Structure 1
Amino acid sequence: MGFGHLLNEMTAKPGEFAVSWIVLGSLVIMSIGSWYYTVVNWLKNSVIRARAEKVIRTFWDTPNPADAIRAMEEQPKNEPFSKVALDAAQAALHHQRNEGSRLVESLNRSEFIDRALRQAVTRESAKLESGMTWLATTGATAPFIGLLGTVWGIYGALIRIGATGQASIDAVAGPVGEALIMTALGLFVAIPAVVAFNWFVRMNRDTNAKFDSFAHDLHDFFATGSRVSDATGKR
């Protein structure tokens, strides 16, 4: 008696076990999605974190701003820090080219660059959130979906026991035990999703902090022509 036996019964009586099939299918889909986003986000975050310091250092260590921007353009399309730097550079250039226009009158150079940087950081931060909703939803709902399967399975088992008139412990233990497997499956799906979600939240928080720090230095550089931190000698 076990999960294999439960599957055999569900296959033999698909109509009677329709709810159980729906629950099982939902848990399988949620588990596949959770593991997919876990692997994809782990690879994505690992690559971003591994390249972050190198990209930032490349930008600041390049003496010529034009060469620094060219180095950012050569970065992979999915590298976020270079995209933030390019947006800041494009905003500064666009503002410079429109001197004397209503754009310059309504927003000074600092405000225009700041707005571009905020949009860039928000965009790149949103990309880090891919799959997080799925992981959170799976972690929160999978145990209850499994519990629904258990309740329905126990209900069906009790109906069958009542119909046969056998109420011994041997007759009750098997069907009820099989129904409880659904709860175990729900936990098996939910726990990895919760662990992955909390892990990625921490990783994203660290990456977002680096976004903010880099954007702050970029704002100083493109708004004033030099990093404020350079002038103070703190970095």
Structure 2
Amino acid sequence: MITTILAAAGTAAAKGDNPYGLQQSLKEGGLISQTVFTILVIFSIASFYILFSKLFEQQKIMNQAKRVRQGFWSANSLREGSAKLDKNSAYKQIVDDGLAAQDQHAKLTDPVEAHDWLHNSLARSEGAINSKLGGGLAFLATVGSVAPFIGLFGTVIGIYRALVKIGASGSGSIDQVAGPVGEALIMTALGLVVAVPAVLAYNWLQRRNKSIAEDLSAFSNDVLGFLASDGAVRPSMAVAKPAPVAAKPVGATTAPRV
């Protein structure tokens, strides 16, 4: 029996056809295995699309933060500083929303503290940006949680088919169960291959979003201080320190000037 199986496997390998490969497993698994495989492939493609698109979006905001630190607070006013920022900049959105809230406060008929009104307006603007950055991460979390179970479903079906073959043939020989068991193991592996990158991507993007949210919160607080103080309070600008003067050696004399 073993000699016959090895001979058949050698003949198939010579022809370049693997009787226990993925293609053959999907063919023998039928509609259920093909459906599970298709769902996992779609999950994988969508996960990598979200990963790269979010990385691009995050990096764009990080580059905007660098430009803000370089020259925004050197402007004479917030409107002048806002004009220096990119049109679609997240930081420009916070500044513009703060300026709009300041203009709207004067039109309120119900008295509201200016600080509270500005703070709430800036918080809404900041929350909208963070919400946009978090879009798609729930899908990654769902894929990371669900993909192993989808693969497990394919595994259960493969084991069931192996048991059916054993019962129908009355023997548990390798040639009867190798295909279904191989199919089951492939489905398990596919579920893990899809789930692990999704979980890693979710955690990494969440950590980067947290860092961006902290920068946005600090900038929003600076804008609030500038507006509430009419420009008197602003972040301290980095001032270059003068080079230290070298100590004069003991006993050295200064040459008289001519």
Taking structure 1 as the reference length, the TM-score comes to 0.86
Change (3 A) 1:229 1:65: closer
Which residue in the other structure is 1:85 paired with?
A: 95
Residue 184, structure 1, aligned to residue 194, structure 2: no
Which amino acid counterpart does residue 95 of structure 1 have in structure 2? H
Task: Classify the secondary structure of the residue corresponding to 2:154.
Answer: helix
Matches within 5 A, 1:1-235: 1-10=20-29, 17-72=30-85, 75-77=86-88, 79-96=89-106, 98=107, 101-103=108-110, 105=111, 107-226=112-231, 228=233, 230=235
Q: Which has the higher helix share?
A: 1
Change (3 A) 1:91 1:159: same
Contact 1:30 1:138 in 2 (8 A): yes
The C-alpha deviation readout for 1:13-50, integer Å capped at 9, x for no partner, is: xxxx3322222221111111101101100111111112
Query: 1 CA distance for matches of 2:103 and 2:72?
Result: 17
The C-alpha deviation readout for 1:30-77, integer Å capped at 9, x for no partner, is: 1111011011001111111122120354321212433223234xx132
The number of equivalent residue pairs is: 220
Give 5+ residue unaligned stretches, structure 2. 1-19, 240-258
Change (3 A) 1:122 1:64: closer
Contact 2:152 2:187 in 1 (8 A): yes
Contact 1:92 1:113 in 2 (8 A): yes
Q: Percent identity?
A: 36
Query: 1 CA distance for matches of 2:71 and 2:121?
Result: 21
Report which of the two structures shows the higher radius of gyration computed on alpha carbons. 2
Which amino acid counterpart does residue 76 of structure 1 have in structure 2? K
Change (3 A) 1:69 1:212: same
Per-residue deviation, 1:227? 5.7
Which amino acid counterpart does residue 97 of structure 2 have in structure 1? D
Contact 2:25 2:182 in 1 (8 A): no
Q: Over aligned residues, Cα RMSD in angstroms?
A: 2.1
Task: Classify the secondary structure of the residue corresponding to 1:102.
Answer: coil
Which amino acid counterpart does residue 4 of structure 1 have in structure 2? Q
Which amino acid counterpart does residue 183 of structure 1 have in structure 2? T
Per-residue deviation, 1:154? 1.1
The C-alpha deviation readout for 1:130-177, integer Å capped at 9, x for no partner, is: 110110000111011101110111101221232123311343233212
Contact 1:55 1:82 in 2 (8 A): no
Off by >6 Å, runs of 4+ in structure 1: none
Query: 2 CA distance for matches of 1:234 and 1:52?
Result: 16
Taking structure 2 as the reference length, the TM-score comes to 0.79
Contact 2:144 2:196 in 1 (8 A): yes
